[in-house]
């Protein structure tokens, strides 16, 4: 799956695409005996249906907190978050979530780990095992269905975690630095594979990352967050044709987008301007 064909223009979501996720003045405050901590400050952001949107920002700026709030895993303190037009007031049932740690259960085989998402969903899926086998095969794990997580490499484990998020066919994926702990070569490979999976399914994706290059390679748009308390400084379009070969990172067009993101971060004091 990591092979990428020659680039052809593939349009992103049309301008009139509806907002799948809408965050309006989203604020999050953590209570503490040492004093309240403001993590998010009136975040305004829309993610269009079928869009791949990444969020980049400095460590501790609230990227993961924002994703948890969208997933309904943490309540916001002010403002509103809507998914498909409905206010988020608890854990969402129709979102696939991938964390930085794969969170696989060592006593369950690879395919049983993937099917765990079906068990938790409470949905009747007669073809669940067939679908799980198909997804695992597509990402190169077809020969490892009955292996256990401790028998896999880090990249293989993260592939399994992504398959677990996809097996119930959720309309949207939330991904919190899923490749952050991997080596550079494995990360590149999984970036290419994730792009291929997204182009086939066109799910709505919210992707959290520290890597500017990764965000630009994968995304239709990149939202840049300020240092804590986090807010959206700017949302930048990535107008590069798909599928994107990894070599696109050497192009002037790619460099222009990454330079703009760095400029926004530098203006906020998140990175040094030099």
Domain stop point among 121, 140, 170:
170
Q: Which of 57, 31, 36, 55 is nearest to 226 (CA)?
A: 57
Q: Which residues partner with 224 through β-bridges?
A: 56, 234
What pLDDT is recorded for position 92?
82
112 Rama sector, left if φ>0, alpha if ψ -120 to 50, beta otherwise:
alpha
- Dist. CA 173–CA 176, nearest whole Å: 10
The pTM for the full model equals 0.89
Which pLDDT belongs to residue 270?
78
Q: 209 and 189 in one domain?
A: yes
Residues 271 and 192 in one domain: yes
Over range 198-211, report the average pLDDT: 94
Our count of domains for the chain comes to 2
User: Is residue 105 domain-shared with residue 149, that is, in the same domain?
Assistant: yes
Does residue 10 carry a pLDDT above 90? Answer: no
- What is the rounded average pLDDT of the residues 115-127? 82
Is the same domain home to 48 and 147? no
């Amino acid at each position: 799956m990591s092979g990428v064909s020659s680039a052809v223009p593939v349009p992103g979501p049309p301008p009139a695409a509806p907002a799948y996720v809408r965050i309006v003045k989203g604020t999050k405050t953590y209570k503490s005996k040492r004093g309240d901590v403001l993590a998010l400050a009136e975040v305004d952001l829309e993610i269009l249906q079928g869009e791949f949107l990444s969020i980049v920002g400095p460590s501790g700026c609230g990227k993961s907190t924002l994703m948890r709030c969208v997933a309904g895993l943490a309540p916001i303190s002010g403002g509103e978050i809507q998914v498909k037009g409905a206010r988020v007031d608890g854990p969402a049932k129709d979102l696939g979530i991938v964390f930085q740690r794969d969170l696989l259960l060592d006593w369950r085989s690879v395919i049983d780990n993937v099917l765990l998402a079906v068990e938790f969903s409470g949905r009747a899926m007669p073809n669940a095992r067939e679908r799980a086998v198909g997804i695992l095969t597509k990402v190169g794990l077809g020969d490892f269905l009955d292996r256990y997580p401790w028998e896999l490499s880090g990249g293989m484990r993260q592939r399994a975690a992504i398959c677990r998020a996809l097996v119930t066919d959720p309309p949207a994926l939330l991904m919190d630095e899923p490749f952050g702990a991997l080596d550079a070569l494995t990360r590149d490979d999984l970036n290419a594979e994730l792009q291929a999976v997204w182009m086939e399914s066109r799910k709505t994706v919210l992707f959290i990352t520290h890597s500017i290059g990764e965000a630009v390679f994968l995304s239709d748009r990149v939202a840049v967050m300020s240092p804590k308390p986090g807010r959206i400084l700017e949302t930048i379009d990535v107008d590069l044709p798909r599928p994107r070969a990894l070599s696109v990172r050497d192009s002037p067009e790619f460099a222009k987008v990454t330079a703009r993101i760095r400029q926004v971060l530098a203006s906020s004091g998140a990175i040094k301007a030099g």
